[in-house]
């Protein structure tokens, strides 16, 4: 089925980003959320990013206007009736996603692709809740969506080849590089990254090097834009702890066991940049080593 019109369910951080790259690729994007305020917030965010691109000369005003004209605000799921594809990016909650896909399947044209941006819920588990699991697929974008090039395509056990091909075509038209992953905890990137991050934590706990030097080593030795500790603070230590816990529950393998110091920081409420302290101290407005805790 040729995709021309897509509904994005959830106009939050990821959903707005998906609507933006879809519209820039020429798809008509219905952007749905539970309230008008939530949809407006998502659209205002897209406008801000595109305006900045126009100011910097990265995009013409005409291209921005064309993309904005393709984004249709929605608070009625019934607007998905002409959508050959729906991409869901609501809160990470199985019951919520299940309910949304059951409704979407009844509204969308027969054969429409139903895609979820979940990071941690098995694709096959959500697919089991719909009548046509062959049309169900994982489409895992990375944040921020307009910047990060990768989109992992995750096959549920019953996802059809046609569904995979259509999804790859859409993601590539959105400017993404695609990879296909089996439906395993963490897919490819989060799985490898979790094991990598745990190794960094172990190096710190064994006294191999300081947090600052481990970050420096990875940045300058592997060309990563951020070291593992800086990145963990940026993403949020609560998010990192949840990812580790999900992977550990899935694999029951010590490689993924949530790190004990990470857990203590979580318990003490130091969640990274957003709380002012995490692996580093940001309370002065600058990133500094922590002097109030002994790692």
Ligand X SMILES: NC(=O)c1ccc[n+]([C@@H]2O[C@H](COP(=O)([O-])OP(=O)(O)OC[C@H]3O[C@@H](n4cnc5c(N)ncnc54)[C@H](O)[C@@H]3O)[C@@H](O)[C@H]2O)c1
Q: Least separation, in Å, of the C-beta of 179 and ligand X?
A: 14
**Choice from 15, 228, 240, 278 touching ligand X (CB under 6 A):** 15
Q: Cα separation of 224 and 37, whole Å?
A: 37
Is the Cβ of residue 11 or residue 262 nearer to ligand X in the bound state? 11
Q: Is 60 a catalytic residue?
A: no
Catalytic residue among 117, 119, 198, 266: 119
90 binds ligand X (CB under 6 A): yes
95 binds ligand X (CB under 6 A): no
> Can you read off the two tokens belonging to residue 136?
């169900």
Catalytic residue among 74, 117, 160, 190: 190
| 118-137 binders of ligand X (CB under 6 A) | 118-119
Q: Check: CB of residue 116 under 8 Å from CB of residue 154.
A: no
246 binds ligand X (CB under 6 A): no
Count residues binding ligand X (CB under 6 A). 22
Catalytic residue among 30, 140, 198, 230: 140
Query: Which among 112, 98, 122, 94 has a CA at the least distance from the CA of 160?
Result: 112
Terminal-to-terminal C-alpha distance of the chain: 55
Angle between helices 61-69 and 13-24 (to 10 degrees): 110
Q: Least separation, in Å, of the C-beta of 132 and ligand X?
A: 21
Is the Cβ of residue 14 or residue 21 nearer to ligand X in the bound state? 14
H/E segment holding residue 261? helix 260-267
247 binds ligand X (CB under 6 A): no
89 binds ligand X (CB under 6 A): yes
Q: Least separation, in Å, of the C-beta of 72 and ligand X?
A: 15
Q: Is 35 a catalytic residue?
A: no
21 binds ligand X (CB under 6 A): no
Phi, psi of 209 (to 5 degrees): -160, 170
Q: Is 152 a catalytic residue?
A: yes
Is the Cβ of residue 15 or residue 22 nearer to ligand X in the bound state? 15
Task: Show contacts of 265-274: CB within 8 Å, 24+ apart.
Answer: 265/237, 266/237, 266/238, 266/241, 270/237, 271/236, 271/237, 271/238, 272/232, 272/233, 272/234, 272/235, 272/236, 272/237, 273/233, 273/234, 273/236, 274/236
**What mask of x and - would describe binding to ligand X in positions 23 to 62, judged by CB under 6 A?**
---------xxx---x------------------------
Is the Cβ of residue 117 or residue 266 nearer to ligand X in the bound state? 117
Is the Cβ of residue 13 or residue 220 nearer to ligand X in the bound state? 13
Q: Check: CB of residue 133 under 8 Å from CB of residue 127.
A: yes
Buried b (16+ CB within 10 A) or exposed e, 18-47: bbbbbbbbebbbbbbbeeeebbeebbebbe
Q: Applying CB under 6 A, which residues contact ligand X? A: 9-15, 32-34, 38, 89-92, 96, 117-119, 140-141, 143
Hey, which residues are catalytic here?
119, 140, 152, 190
């Amino acid at each position: 089925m040729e995709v021309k019109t897509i509904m994005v369910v959830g106009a939050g951080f990821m959903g707005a980003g998906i609507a933006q790259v879809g519209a820039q690729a020429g798809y008509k994007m219905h952007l749905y959320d539970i309230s008008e305020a939530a949809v407006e917030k998502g659209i205002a965010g897209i406008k801000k990013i595109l305006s900045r691109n126009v100011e910097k000369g990265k995009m013409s005003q005409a291209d921005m206007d064309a993309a904005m004209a393709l984004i249709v605000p929605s608070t009625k799921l019934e607007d998905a009736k002409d959508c050959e594809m729906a991409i869901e990016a609501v809160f990470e909650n199985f019951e919520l996603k299940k309910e949304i896909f059951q409704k979407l399947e009844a509204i969308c044209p027969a054969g429409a692709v139903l895609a979820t941006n979940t990071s941690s819920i098995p694709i096959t588990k959500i697919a089991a809740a719909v009548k046509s699991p062959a049309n169900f697929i994982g489409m895992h974008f990375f944040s921020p969506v307009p910047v990060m090039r990768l989109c992992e395509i995750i096959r549920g056990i019953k996802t059809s080849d046609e569904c995979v091909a259509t999804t790859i075509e859409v993601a590539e038209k959105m400017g993404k590089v695609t990879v296909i992953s089996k439906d395993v905890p963490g897919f490819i990137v989060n799985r490898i990254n979790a094991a990598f991050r745990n190794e960094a934590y172990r190096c710190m706990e064994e006294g191999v090097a300081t947090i600052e030097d481990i970050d420096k080593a990875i940045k300058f030795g592997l060309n990563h834009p951020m070291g593992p500790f800086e990145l963990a603070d940026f993403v949020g230590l609560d998010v990192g702890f949840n990812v580790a816990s999900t992977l550990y529950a899935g694999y029951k393998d010590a490689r993924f066991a949530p790190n004990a110091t990470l857990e203590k920081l979580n318990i003490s409420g130091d969640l990274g940049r957003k709380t002012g302290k995490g692996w580093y101290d940001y309370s002065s407005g600058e990133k500094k080593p922590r002097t109030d805790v002994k790692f």
